[in-house]
Structure 1
Amino acid sequence: MVPLTDCQRIGVGLVGFGLFFVLFGMLLYFDSVLLAFGNILFLSGLVFIIGFRRTFTFFFQWPKLKGTSFFMGGVLIVLMRWPLLGMLLEAYGFITLFRSDPRFLALLDLSLLQLLQKVGDSSSMV
């Protein structure tokens, strides 16, 4: 287990709350306030976890500029209270950002498998 600094622990909490608010906003028929709040928490948590400079260099690399522009444009569209269009742009930007990173895809595949195994193990009919 990797030890986390206090700043990184705060970042993990912010990312968790951000994802919660985004999912909750989508469940409440794309509530723009919850989605905007979730986006802001998610991005600020990312800065707390990996640092401002590494976050900036990740998003603004030349090959990832298309994905970054769609993702950040989607955040701006959500902030302007067009949540459905904004979330579609964000999703496309997120996929474009991480499509070329095989480590992310492997981590996503592994975490989905573990989640499905936990769900399958915990559901008993007794």
Structure 2
Amino acid sequence: MGNVLFLSGLSLTIGLKSTMQFFMKRQNFKGTISFGSGFFFVVVGWPIFGMILESYGFIVLFSGFWPTLAVFLQKIPIFGWVFQQPYVRSLFDCYRGRRVPV
């Protein structure tokens, strides 16, 4: 149920055409196949293996958004000071502008 809601929410947020283009990009094939096959294994009855594949696919698909998430977390009024500490900020800075190697 969560996968269906995730995909429908993404489609409603950025549009159906943009969603299809995102999942069909050549650089996102590995993540798309992992996410889709993980969904298949969850439906078939292998939930642990399916969730592991889905998690891997999610990380690969959305690894380009981690720098944006880091900036957003640093700007949260009360909670953001944790992410502005030097040791946490250096962790975010090492991934800024790069995709996570997979």
TM-score by length of 1: 0.56
* Stretches (4+) displaced over 6 A: none
The aligned runs of 1:75-114 (5 Å cut-off) are 75-99=39-63, 101=64, 104-113=65-74, 114=76
Structure 2 unmatched ranges of 5 or more = 83-102
Amino acid at match of 1:117: F
Deviation at 1:107, TM superposition (A): 2.5
Partner of 1:30: none
Q: 1:45 aligns with which of 3, 6, 9?
A: 9
Change (3 A) 1:84 1:53: same
What does residue 68 of structure 1 align with? 32
Q: Counterparts of 1:73 and 1:107 in 2: how far apart (Å)?
A: 27
May I ask how many residue pairs the two structures share in their alignment? 80
Identity of aligned residues (%): 43
Partners in 2 of 1:82 and 1:116 — Cα distance? 41
